Structure 1
Amino acid sequence: MKKRLLSLLLAGVMATTMVAGCAKKPGAEGGEKGASEKGYELALITDVGTIDDKSFNQGSWEGLETYAKDNGITCKYYKPAEKSDSACLTSIDLAVKGGAKVIVTPGFLFEAPIYQAQEKYPDIKFIMVDAAPISPEKEVKINDNVSSVFYAEEQSGFLAGYAAVVEGYTKLGFMGGIAVPAVIRFGYGFVQGAEAAAKDLNISGVEVKYTYVGNFDATPENNAKAAAWYNNGTEVIFACGGAVGNSVMKAAEAAGKKVIGVDVDQSAESETVMTSAMKSLSTSVYDTVASVYKDSFQGGKSVTLTAKENGVLLPMETSKFNKFDQTKYDELYKGLQDGTIKVGNDTIATDASKLSSDYVKVESIK
């Protein structure tokens, strides 16, 4: 009798665990929050990163997840099996079959997939982050069910570059992931910010090592490259490539040097993170999802969020500055907002070394 009672108790525990698993923590193949009979109403498809990359994907996911929690709506993320249009489309299909009404897609990999999906699923709202639907003929076509959100990364890069020089650093580095427009804009802004600060302070001899590593991964190769730069005198590296930042932070910790993070506030990732060139990923995704439910969704166009819309920023509260202060930050930010400070984006030069500069020398490393 005791054995039978024990068996029944164990069965009850197992059943309870299975039910709890419907709202389990996100896993490798896809994560969900609050499953229901109708499936998962909000969905995010990751690009080359993961939702815990402490960067682009995570910032977007946190905005979606927060809205879901605030409003009692189910949500789930899907990770494509590979980096291809077909894999992205398969994940979109799965999300729709899973009950998605709103799908968020961060990154340039979704340009072609959403071009097809917007026609295939006209009743689904798509929120593209840092991308727009592009045809095989490279023509942009944004249907009314698609919102395309970009950011003025060059402005937050500018703020980071300016702050780095004010802090006293003259040997800078920019280590980008893949040379896609968003990454290029971050880097170009960084160089222009360093130039502006050097000019204002009349500092000569500022140098920037500049490269794209060709991926968004934490690898031994990326760590070794960052370590070599630090060992050769680089004082701070702007790590602009998702998980590439983990490799740079590891090298900075070993060398006692500094890092500038990207996309989100990465100060918690390492004591070496001096500041982060941020985009308001979480807030903008949250607000765009909210617009769907408020019947104010503005599809059919691209918008670029700048300092004027508080779309880019530095996290001053968590930044580890000794000289660059809130007063100077506010002055620069106001200049970006009212247009008295103009920062060129990815269209101003074919290569970072060709950026016009009198105080900063850029060494472009292939």
Structure 2
Amino acid sequence: MKKIIAFFMVFVLAIGALTACGKKDDNNAGKNGDTGKTGDTYEIALITDKGNIDDKSFNQGAWEGVVEFATANNISHQYYKPEEASDAGYLAAIDLAVSGGAKVVVTPGFLFEVAVYEAQTKYPDVKFILLDGAPRTADYSDFKTEKNVASIMYAEEESGYLAGYAAVMDGMKNLGFMGGMAVPAVQAFGYGYLQGAEDAAKELGLGDGEIKVIYHYTGNFDENDTNKATAKTMYQEGVEVIFACGGSVGKSVMAAASEAGAKVIGVDVDQRYDSETVITSATKGLGASVIQVLESIYKTNDFDSKYGGKTTYFDAKNDGVGLPTTVLDDPNGNAFDRFEKFTMDQYNAVFQKLVDGTVDPIRTITVEDPNGVATAEELVSGLNLVKVQVEVR
């Protein structure tokens, strides 16, 4: 009898261990927002990257779009957190989602480029929404977007433009930029930031070189003491606000700003909730873009012609970029209350210029450095800067 009980216990433990491996992030259907209509299957799935679903960044922004659309249309949905943050780990999570009934898989960020490259042919009947990336091989030898994949990019130069414009119109003349690595998205944010500052300075009638910008790439996307020290030095030298454009680099900048009584501009999502130092954020319309692609799949049935098999840029014209205009959980909140002078009316006016094409910020310039780090001269000449004086560190 004891042998039978012992065998039974081992069997139960083994089953439990197998069930735990590669499971969905949790079994709380209500917490994850699914409708629960199809039991353990979920039609729309989101795979998180190495962050969490409440990261106030790509995962959260994309998931909010999934939840809003799926809830309104009574479609079951779930998110899955990979066992490990690697190409293999992301692909395994996609496998799990598809085996769980996913017909649409949302992958938030360029970290999924390799996994989606593999998954797009492995699951030709599943539609993939890849945000901020394009499917590619691990060695960058091949880029290919199959017809079941929507590659979504964002006009970061427009969002950065709005941030630089707002800072100068608010009265700031000493600006900072701390990007992570000089990848295209980060470059575009920075280039737009400088151009927005330039145009605002012209509108205000400021003198040539009156706006000063310290421009720096950290070489990483980390929260660490070195990045905090760099931001601290900038503030000590008189920088009033730093555009923190490098993932967790922003946390280092916020920590330094808090100690210095200075200001920060966030990135990707509204980061005002992370620190009182954040006056605004250069955001990407993650949720809005997810919703629009889902509508093409479920409502207008034009996914194939509109998004499938190609890269689509979301910009001011389709709510793909902008500064935050609302405050969460406060319908009467003022998203511009941390500015001294810059107002919602001023924002709406400059935003409309992006929409109608009156303002069209430069996204790329010629840079000799193979790592993409521009010199001050390249920035000034490539972006036609006169009012803005740049120091690259």
Output the TM-score relative to the length of structure 1.
0.85
SS of 2:386's equivalent?
A: coil
Q: Which residue of 2 aligns with 1:5?
A: none
Check 1:143–1:239 CA distance in 2 against 1; reply closer, same or farther (3 A cut).
same
Q: Say whether the 8 Å CA contact 1:260–1:275 is kept in structure 2.
A: yes
1:256 aligns with 2:256: no
- Does residue 271 of structure 1 match 2:276? yes
Equivalent pair of 1:219/1:247 in contact (CA under 8 Å): yes
Amino acid in the other structure paired with 1:44: L
CA shift at 1:289, angstroms? 2.0
- Residue number in structure 1 paired with 2:379: 355
1:313 alignment partner, one of 322, 330, 339: 322
The answer to whether the Cα contact below 8 Å between 1:49 and 1:242 also exists between their aligned partners in 2 is no
1:80-115 deviations in Å (ceiling 9; x for gaps): 344432222122112212222111112112222211
- The answer to whether the 8 A contact 1:32-1:77 is kept is no
Compute the displacement of 1:355 (Å).
1.4
User: Secondary structure of the residue that 2:257 maps to in structure 1?
Assistant: helix
Q: CA deviation at 1:124?
A: 0.7
Which among 336, 343, 346 is matched to residue 354 of structure 2?
Answer: 336
One-letter amino acid matched to 2:302 = S
Q: Distance in 2 between matches of 1:321 and 1:248?
A: 18
**What runs of 5+ residues in structure 2 fail to find an aligned partner?**
1-25, 326-333
Aligned-pair distance for 1:38?
Answer: 4.0
1:74 and 1:23, CA in 2 relative to 1: closer, same or farther beyond 3 A? farther
Output one character per residue of 1:107-161: Cα deviation in whole Å (capped at 9) or x when no partner: 1122222111100000111001111112455443221111111111100100110
Matches within 5 A, 1:115-264: 115-135=117-137, 136=139, 138-201=141-204, 202-203=206-207, 204-264=209-269
More deviation, 34-43/59-68: 34-43
Matched position secondary structure for 2:55: coil
In structure 2, what residue type is equivalent to 1:307?
A: A
TM-score, normalised to structure 2, is 0.80
How far does residue 345 in structure 1 lie from its aligned partner after superposition? 0.8
Partner of 1:3: none
Number of residue pairs aligned between Structure 1 and Structure 2: 341
Q: CA separation in 1, counterparts of 2:168 and 2:59?
A: 29
Give CA deviations for 1:265-322 in whole Å, capped at 9, x if unaligned: 2222222111111111111112212322223323111111111222211124412222
Identity of aligned residues (%): 52
CA distance in 2, matches of 1:80, 1:301: 26
Shift of 1:32: 7.0
Q: Does structure 1 residue 346 correspond to structure 2 residue 352?
A: no
Task: Report the equivalent of 1:15.
Answer: none
Structure 1's 176 and 78: CA in aligned 2 closer, same or farther, altered over 3 A?
Answer: farther
SS for the counterpart of 2:90 is helix
Unaligned runs of 5+ in 1: 1-20
Detail structure 1 runs of 4+ shifted over 6 Å in the superposition. none
Q: Which amino acid aligns with 1:62?
A: E
Q: Greater shift after overlay, 299-308 or 37-46?
A: 37-46
Please say if residues 39 and 99 of structure 1, whose CA atoms lie closer than 8 Å, have aligned partners that are also in contact: yes
Q: Which moves more between the two structures, 142-151 or 53-62? A: 53-62
Segment drifting more, 83-92 vs 103-112: 83-92
